[in-house]
Amino acid sequence: MTSTVFTGIAELVTNDELLEDADQSEHLGRLRGAAVVVQDGLIAWVGPASLAPPADDGHDVGGRAVIPGFVDSHSHLVFAGDRSAEFAARMTGVPYDGGGIATTVSATRAAGDDELRALVGARVAEMRAQGTTTVEIKGGYGLNVKDEARSVRIAAEFTSETTYLGAHVVPPEYADRRSDYVELTTGEMLAACAPYARWIDVFCEPCSAHAFTEDEARVVLTAGRAAGLGLRVHGNQLGHGPGVRLAVELGAASVDHCTFLSGADVDQLAAASDTTVATLLPGVEFSTRSPYPDARRLLDAGVSIALASDCNPGTCYSSSIPFALALAVREMGLTPAEALLAATVGSAKSLRRHDVGVIRAGGPADLTVLDAPSYLHLFYRAGVPIARALDPVGRRAR
């Protein structure tokens, strides 16, 4: 077991509200002139550099800021194919309705296992290179038993936060017999995927012919829960709808998108803030020319929020949490500190994780370094690739 002491940290953001001597003004647990000792992939000690205990190795980060690695709690990385033309069409005014998902399903079914594995690996590496150390990965582009099971199986090679999304859309071959597809996703497909999945998700959006109604989504989620999976919902993305209501009713860990919310939705989310997190995905609004959710209103109402990328080939092919952070501050009314908290402890909460999104002795050494002296530069220098995950012990993103 080798220990390494990281020094030269101009500003350490820990998100640890109990850390002694830290500046807690914005709940960031900030220390200047800090050191962190890492041993065997875990954080062994955090504090002022002048008090750091001896270690086997030293690593001077050269006056940079260090923050908790980003927790990207919503991504769809298991896919093949390209839909850039769909993006270009949207920029000229063509609306998004989920119909393009079928294009990705065809390409994904046609891809070999190694090809798919390499695509996922490259996307996870791209995320780490931008500061993400924990990633949730959904399937959802197989939509038959073999290809959905393969999707979550490959996802599980890269993360423990895997999500079964057989109920992404109704595939074209089931368009005239939706109930048969719901039966498949809650029966044979669920049984094949559950061994590789921690979560189940459903695209509940009655205004899209491709997605699932409230009743269908309830059947899907209830079956997933009976199979031992935690619940997540894609909801309120394309219009007002039942997604939030259903997520709160069933005690889902997260309802994601929340682009169109009524006052009643906000009230329900606030009342359920210990259980259900509203995960905001502003890269999607950017890439679909949609209105941004009002994150300020949600926080002020007492809602628990998270920020994630939703990296996927249709509505947002960006794996960048710094991009989501910049949008959250510029377009959604959050302060930089609130945005950073939403993409770390907030998204960790949406995964029911308390070990990640924070730099604390005993936790995993998921450190992200910024080529800048302060976390504010993440926002101040939007678009400049200053964030990267430190990999002192070769940990993979989890």
Where do contacts with Fe ion occur on this chain (CB under 5 A)?
310
Residue nearer to ligand NIG on the CB measure, 70 or 203 = 203
Long-range contact set of residues 109-117: C-beta below 8 Å, sequence gap at least 24: 109/142, 109/144, 109/147, 110/80, 111/80, 113/150, 113/154, 115/80, 116/78, 116/80, 116/150, 116/151, 116/154, 117/154, 117/157
Contact flag: residue 312 with ligand NIG (CB under 6 A): yes
User: CB 85 → Fe ion: shortest distance, Å?
Assistant: 20
Tokens 């044979």, located at residue:
188
Contact flag: residue 87 with ligand NIG (CB under 6 A): no
Of all residues in the shown chain, the one whose CB is closest to ligand NIG is: 314
In the chain, the N- to C-terminal Cα span, in Å, equals 21
Contact flag: residue 284 with ligand NIG (CB under 6 A): yes
User: CB 169 → ligand NIG: shortest distance, Å?
Assistant: 8
d(CA 376, CA 340): 10
Contact flag: residue 199 with ligand NIG (CB under 6 A): no
User: CB 287 → ligand NIG: shortest distance, Å?
Assistant: 9
Concatenated DSSP letters for 358-391? S--TTSB--EEEESSSSTTHHHHTTTS--EEE--
DSSP 166: E
Q: Which value, to the nearest 10 degrees, does the dihedral of the CA atoms of residues 255, 153, 75, 181 take?
A: -50
Angle value at C-alpha 142, between 84 and 144, nearest 5 degrees: 150
For residue 313, the partner it binds in ligand NIG, Fe ion, none, with Cβ less than 5 to 8 A by kind, is: ligand NIG
Contact flag: residue 310 with ligand NIG (CB under 6 A): yes
Stretch that binds ligand NIG, among 24-32, 128-136, 308-316, 339-347 (CB under 6 A): 308-316
Residue of 101, 190, 244, 321 that binds ligand NIG (CB under 6 A): 101
Residue 334 is encoded by which pair of tokens? 């959050």
User: CB 233 → Fe ion: shortest distance, Å?
Assistant: 10
Q: How many CA atoms lie within 13 A of 115 on its CB side?
A: 9
Contact flag: residue 163 with ligand NIG (CB under 6 A): no
Residue nearer to Fe ion on the CB measure, 72 or 310 = 310
Residue nearer to Fe ion on the CB measure, 36 or 231 = 231
Residue nearer to ligand NIG on the CB measure, 107 or 271 = 107
Stretch that binds ligand NIG, among 16-24, 60-68, 93-101, 147-155 (CB under 6 A): 93-101
Stretch that binds ligand NIG, among 29-37, 97-105, 178-186, 216-224 (CB under 6 A): 97-105
Size of the site for ligand NIG (CB under 6 A): 13
Contact flag: residue 47 with ligand NIG (CB under 6 A): no
Strand boundaries in the chain, DSSP class E: 3-13, 30-39, 42-48, 57-68, 70-72, 132-138, 161-167, 199-204, 230-235, 254-257, 277-280, 305-307, 367-370, 387-389
d(CA 330, CA 37): 35
Contact flag: residue 104 with ligand NIG (CB under 6 A): yes
Please, are residues 210 and 98 in contact by the beta-carbon 8 Å criterion?
Answer: yes
User: CB 76 → Fe ion: shortest distance, Å?
Assistant: 6
Residue nearer to ligand NIG on the CB measure, 99 or 392 = 99
Residue nearer to ligand NIG on the CB measure, 237 or 254 = 237
- Spacing of C-alpha 145 from chain mean position: 25
User: CB 151 → Fe ion: shortest distance, Å?
Assistant: 14
Contact flag: residue 69 with ligand NIG (CB under 6 A): no
Q: What track of x and - describes contact with ligand NIG for positions 209 through 238 (by CB under 6 A)?
A: -------------------------x--x-
Residues lying near ligand NIG in the complex (CB under 6 A): 98, 100-101, 104, 203, 234, 237, 284, 310, 312-315
